[in-house]
């Protein structure tokens, strides 16, 4: 679905991005505006939560509500927003370091809890804001400021990790393909449950991977079945190609549905008081 420039402008704030010219994050921001336009979402019904890093600036560039949280704490804040007001559309944004290093524990629990939100993982394979140190997705033997002789650690594959941890929607895209990326982000937002979009977003300043990914990126086959978990893991972890599109999709109850169910059971208990009643009776 095409989205005109006027529609995209509705989601742009007056704050101009200050990323390096050519940064892959520009493509992600454009695709996000397009996705919100495709879904005809009102800015005041959308909350964008971010952590630290180049992607942390994301909320400032939109007219949606935003929360710039602490390093690695994007997920708990996003969960709190969604749990407090399930009617809001929550989009969380984080880099590879923010998501998989200091925020790795929260990422794990978000997947298994199946929180109903979309998570955009902007992956540039290093810590770019602090000028190019190795991150969890840094490629083996890749030289960085902190690994001048190459990284000896194996890299983390985010999509594979999310699938095995219980995420119900997992996709991968390339920031240079804004239209395709917008379609995937829109699907992630609409999905009932935790939806990860792993975005290959090159850092042109410290590790320019545009040409590398242009050679590696490939669309999933026409007969690909995203409900097949084992197939999804094989394609997600393929060392030769970076398959893009919706890798995995399934359905199971969301975190919010469980909360509503527990609340209903509690309210049905004989003599159970509401929080308001407990406050009025000074029991809390």
d(CA 175, CA 181): 7
Q: Is the pLDDT of residue 273 over 80?
A: no
The verdict on 140 and 166 lying in the same domain is: yes
The answer to whether residues 54 and 23 touch, using CB atoms and an 8 Å cutoff, is yes
Query: Same structural domain for residues 193 and 108?
Result: yes
What are 274's two structure tokens?
């509401």
Q: Greater confidence, 91 or 1?
A: 91
Same domain assignment for residues 133 and 272: no
245 and 260, same domain (yes or no): no
Task: Give me the pLDDT at residue 283, please.
Answer: 66
- Using 50, 70 and 90 to split pLDDT, how confident is the model at 262? confident
Kindly state whether residues 163 and 273 are assigned to the same domain.
no
Q: What is the CATH number of the domain that holds 74?
A: 3.40.50.970
pLDDT value of position 86: 93
- 264 and 203 share a domain? no
Spatial CA neighbour of 92 closest among 104, 116, 75, 109: 75
Q: Provide the β-strand partners of residue 198.
A: 121, 172
| Whether residue 272 is found in the same domain as residue 175 | no
Which DSSP symbol is given to 23? -
Q: Does one domain contain both 101 and 223?
A: yes
Bin 53: left if φ > 0, else alpha if -120 < ψ < 50, else beta.
Answer: left
pLDDT at 1: 63
Residue 238 to residue 227: CA distance in whole angstroms: 18
At 208-261, the pLDDT tens digits run 889 999 999 999 999 999 999 999 999 999 999 999 999 999 999 999 999 888
* Inter-residue contact 205 to 130 (CB < 8 Å): no
Count how many domains the chain has. 2
pLDDT 10s digits, 67-106: 999 999 999 999 999 999 999 999 999 999 999 999 999 9
Question: Does 234 share its domain with 262?
Answer: no
Q: What is the pLDDT of residues 175-203, one digit of tens each?
A: 999 999 999 999 999 999 999 999 999 99
| Cβ pair 203, 126 in contact under 8 A | yes
Reduced 3-state DSSP string for 41-59: CCHHHEEEEECCCHHHHHH
65 and 188 fall within a common domain:
yes
* pTM to 2 decimal places: 0.92
Per-residue pLDDT for 151 more than 60? yes
Q: Which domain holds residue 243?
A: 5-252
d(CA 118, CA 193) in angstroms, rounded, equals 8
Q: Are residues 276 and 191 in the same domain?
A: no
Mapping DSSP to helix (H, G, I), strand (E, B) and coil, where does residue 119 land? strand
Identify the burial level of 180 via C-beta atoms within 10 angstroms of its C-beta, where 0-12 means exposed, 13-18 middle and 19 or more buried. Answer: middle
Per-residue pLDDT tens over the stretch 27-71: 999 999 999 999 999 999 999 999 999 999 999 999 999 999 999
Examine the domain organization and report whether 138 and 191 are in the same domain. Answer: yes
Q: What's the pLDDT score for residue 199?
A: 98
pLDDT tier at 144, thresholds 50, 70, 90: confident
Q: Evaluate if residue 156 carries a pLDDT over 90.
A: yes
- Report the pLDDT averaged over residues 170-174: 99
């Amino acid at each position: 679905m095409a989205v005109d420039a006027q529609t995209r402008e509705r989601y742009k704030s007056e704050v101009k991005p200050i990323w390096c010219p050519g940064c892959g994050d520009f493509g992600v921001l454009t695709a996000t505006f397009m996705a919100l336009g495709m879904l005809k979402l009102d800015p005041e019904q959308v909350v964008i939560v971010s952590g630290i890093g180049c992607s942390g600036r994301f909320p400032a560039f939109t007219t949606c509500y935003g929360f710039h949280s602490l390093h690695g704490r994007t997920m708990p804040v996003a969960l709190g927003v969604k749990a407090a007001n399930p009617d809001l559309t929550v989009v969380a944004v984080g880099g590879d370091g923010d998501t998989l290093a200091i925020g790795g524990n929260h990422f794990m629990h978000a997947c298994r809890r199946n929180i109903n939100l979309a998570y955009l993982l902007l992956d540039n394979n290093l810590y770019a804001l602090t000028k190019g140190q190795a991150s969890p997705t840094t490629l083996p033997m890749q030289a960085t400021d902190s690994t001048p002789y190459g990284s000896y650690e194996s890299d983390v594959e985010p999509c594979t990790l999310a699938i095995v941890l219980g995420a119900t929607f997992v996709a991968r895209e390339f920031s240079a393909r804004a239209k395709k990326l917008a379609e995937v982000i829109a699907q992630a937002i609409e999905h009932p449950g935790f939806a990860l979009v792993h975005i290959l977003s090159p850092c042109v300043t410290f590790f320019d991977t545009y040409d590398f990914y242009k050679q590696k990126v490939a669309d999933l086959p026409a007969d690909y079945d995203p409900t097949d978990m084992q197939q999804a893991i094989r394609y997600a972890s393929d060392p030769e190609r970076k398959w893009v599109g919706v890798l995995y999709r399934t359905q199971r109850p969301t975190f919010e549905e469980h909360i509503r169910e527990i609340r209903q059971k509690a309210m049905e208990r004989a003599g159970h008081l509401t929080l308001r009643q407990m406050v009025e009776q000074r029991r809390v």
